[in-house]
């Protein structure tokens, strides 16, 4: 009986170990690990994980094209890999499954922005901030809207959008810098200087801000 019990325990342990080894990779976890590596400046390893995630997602979509989360994460992954057209395709595929998924609005806003399709990008970012006024990504959506308005020379709109981003998250030096650029380009040198000084308070080593202030005189 003892030998038989020992055999069963060994069998269960072996089966459990095999199941653990054979557990499928989680695309979202691979993506998150890639984002962590990317934030540390390790782009090579980050891209390796993104490509692994993409392979997993392609299998998921092939097996079940109605899984909206697979399309969403694929859009994120393709964006990180700078495959912007594919990011858009994945996002639109997700919207066909749920036209009101605000996560996809934000993903499409970023992808269309990267493709310089500012009108379409603005459309999706505006839908996102209406649907999710207090989400973690909402300040970034407002920042992107500020960028769109600045690049299309709608400086009053840019001021409002950057202001909304900074109201929610005032400690991002980049956003103060771009607000200053928008103000400078609109002819508001005093406002530009104020914004850049705020950026330097957050990041005293911000070389672009120092150069901009020197050029402003």
Superfamily of domain 1-117: Tetratricopeptide repeat domain (1.25.40.10)
Q: Where in the chain is the domain with CATH 1.25.40.10?
A: 1-117, 133-217
Q: What's the 3-state SS for 108-162?
A: HHHHHHHCCCHHHHHHHHHHHHHHCCCCCCHHHHHHHHHHHHHHCCCHHHHHHHH
Q: Measuring CA to CA, how many Å separate 216 from each of 184, 190, 210?
A: 8, 10, 10
Average pLDDT estimate for 78-104: 98
> Average pLDDT, stretch 51-80?
97
| CA dist., res. 159 & res. 133, Å (int) | 18
pLDDT above 90: percentage of residues in the chain:
88
pTM of the full structure: 0.86
pLDDT of residue 18: 37
**Spatial separation of the C-alpha atoms in residues 91 and 12, rounded to whole Å:** 43
Taking residues 145-171, what's their average pLDDT? Answer: 98
**Rounded CA gap, 70 and 57, in Å?**
6
Confidence tier at 25 by pLDDT (50, 70, 90):
confident
Split at pLDDT 50, 70, 90, the class of 185 is very high
Domain 133-217 has CATH 1.25.40.10: yes
- Give mean pLDDT, residues 185-210: 97
């Amino acid at each position: 009986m003892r030998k038989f019990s020992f055999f069963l325990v060994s069998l269960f342990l072996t089966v459990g170990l095999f199941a653990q080894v054979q557990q499928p990779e989680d695309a979202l976890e691979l993506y998150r690990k890639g984002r962590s590596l990317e934030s540390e400046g390790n782009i090579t390893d980050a891209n390796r994980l993104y490509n692994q995630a993409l392979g997993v997602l392609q299998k998921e979509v092939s097996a079940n094209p109605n899984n909206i989360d697979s399309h969403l994460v694929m859009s994120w992954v393709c964006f990180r890999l700078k495959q912007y057209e594919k990011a858009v395709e994945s996002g639109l595929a997700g919207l066909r499954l749920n036209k009101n998924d605000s996560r996809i609005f934000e993903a499409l806003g970023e992808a269309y922005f990267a493709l310089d399709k500012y009108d379409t990008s603005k459309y999706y970012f505006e839908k996102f901030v209406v649907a999710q006024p207090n989400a973690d990504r909402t300040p970034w959506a407002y920042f992107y809207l500020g960028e769109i308005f600045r690049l299309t020379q709608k400086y009053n709109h840019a001021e409002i959008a950057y202001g909304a981003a900074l109201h929610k998250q005032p400690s991002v030096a980049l956003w103060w810098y771009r607000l200053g650029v928008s103000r400078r380009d609109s002819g508001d040198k005093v406002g530009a200087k104020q914004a850049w000084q705020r950026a330097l308070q957050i990041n005293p080593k911000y070389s672009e801000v120092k150069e901009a202030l020197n050029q402003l005189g």
